[in-house]
Chain A
Amino acid sequence: MTFQVELVSPEGIAYSGEAEMVIARTVGGGEIAFQPGHVPFIGVLAVWSVDVVHPDGGRDTLAVHRGFVQVAGTKVSILSDVSEASGEIDVDRARAAREVAEAALAADRDDAAAAEALARAEVRLTVAGADS
């Protein structure tokens, strides 16, 4: 059994596909995996990646920096205004962003904006598979 996954951004539907399982991470709730038949669910997503597992075992990883997930019936919608599929990520830019954020954090440990930027950069690098 599969269900339909859609990544909906304000500019359009950024990704859509069939999936057997979707793994996401919600704010305060940790990782959560959805399979067809899941209870209707709405959650706030953490700055993290969303894994879409296809019926054939393949996997798409999306970097979702902010958003919501809604599971209803046979459909999973991920609402996000800042998100990327792994192929769209500019690794060099993310690395540069990480360095800038790390420098800012070193200077001021309470810099919330820098901490967020760092988290985003790390997710991007993880999703792009270019971490370290």
Chain B
Amino acid sequence: MAGGRERVLRRRITSVQKTKKITRAMELIAATRVMKAQQRARASAPYSRQITQVIENLAAAGTEVDHPLLREAEKVERVGVVLITSDRGLAGPYNSAIIRAAERQVQNARAEGADYSLIIIGKKGRDYFRFRNYRIDSFTEGISDNPTYEDAKAVADTVADLFESGEIDRVELVYTEFISIGSQKVVVRRFLPLESTEVMAEEGHGEAGAVASFEFEPSPEAVLEALLPRYVEARLFGALLESAASEHASRQRAMKAATDNAEEMIVKLSREMNQARQDAITTEIMEIVGGAEALGSDDDTTDTPVPVGSRD
């Protein structure tokens, strides 16, 4: 019956309004988190720049060492894939894009006849690969939202250990690069083995132009050896910070879209509801008129008022 439809629509509108409140709140929270994450990424930049600068200076001095982190395997038997996903969903295509890229890496490894090893950060990545019966060698949760250097160090140590012990021969890092608030990109970077110092220096910002004739203590080789693990940690930390900023930006965008959709839906449903109400009123009037007419035309003048709406 007509009044019932109106009630159903009213209930749906209330429910959509509540959803909208939630998505709106999430959008605002994500917006502030993007700012924070960006700030942290900026704050961490001097450290990695300095490390790269030291490497540049070492490269200028012609330092090369035989460090396990630089070991290039003759035959790659196992490829490590490190992927950074989020713990929570509702972030649009953020996680699925990462997962797709990571899965492609695994398939590439298989195509080359190599085994794979998954090192996963974030629940979403784990859920996907566990469901599909992939073997997961390392999993870390609770850090992708707001990563600290300690977290990065712990994961980097795990990866470096696997690499140094020869368990894995190559490591690819899959994460989301934060370009701007409106644009993030999934990237796959070679994580280990490290490139030679020249390449590392070139990949860096290369602003200093390497001041010549540094004195090194205890020796250039010893400095480089102490530096390489820090370099690996700093790189992972940088990737984690960018991923965190990207996650929040993605969530902000997804929640904005959800809020807009909710708004649109409320407008549409309200229109439908108004029409339903209008229809119900029209029907009611018709019924009253019809009823009054049926009562006979002899006592039209002594019309008793029929209370409207008393029939439901």
Contact = CB atoms under 8 A, between A and B. Distances in A.
Contact of B215 (A42, A68, A81): A42
Contacts of B215: 39-42
Contacts of A11: 40, 43-44, 148-149
A44 B224 CA distance: 9
Nearest to B230: A81
Interface stretch (B49-57, B112-120, B254-262): B49-57
Q: Chain B: interface secondary structure? A: helix
Contacts, number: 89
B304 interface: no
A41 B51 contact: no
B217 A26 contact: yes
B36 interface: no
Given A41-B215, A42-B214, A44-B218, A70 B230 contact: no
A13 B152 CA distance: 18
Interface string B48-79: 10110110011000000000000000000000
A73 B211 contact: yes
A10 B149 CA distance: 7
Contacts of B216: 41-43
B222 interface: yes
B153 A70 contact: no
Nearest to B49: A8
Contacts of A73: 211
A16 B153 CA distance: 25
B217 A43 contact: yes
A68 B223 contact: yes
A58 interface: no
Interface residues of B, number: 32
A40 B56 CA distance: 14
Interface string A84-121: 00000000000000000000000000000000000000
Interface string A48-67: 00000000000000000000
Contacts of B222: 27-28, 44
A12 B153 CA distance: 16
Contact of B226 (A29, A39, A41, A68): A68
B128 interface: no
Main secondary structure of the interface of A (DSSP, over half): strand
B149 A29 contact: no
A60 B119 CA distance: 42
A10 B237 contact: yes
A45 B212 CA distance: 21
Interface in B190-214: 211-214
A81 B153 contact: yes
Contacts of B233: 10, 81
B47 A26 contact: no
B46 A13 contact: yes
Contacts of B40: 11-12
B227 interface: yes
Contacts of B46: 6, 8, 12-13
17 contacts: A10-B237, A11-B43, A26-B217, A27-B222, A29-B218, A39-B215, A40-B214, A43-B216, A43-B217, A68-B54, A68-B227, A72-B211, A72-B214, A73-B211, A77-B50, A79-B51, A81-B153
Interface of B: 40, 43-44, 46-48, 50-51, 53-54, 57-58, 148-149, 152-153, 211-218, 222-223, 226-227, 230, 233-234, 237
Given A28-B217, A44-B222, 4 more contacts: A12-B46, A39-B213, A42-B58, A79-B50
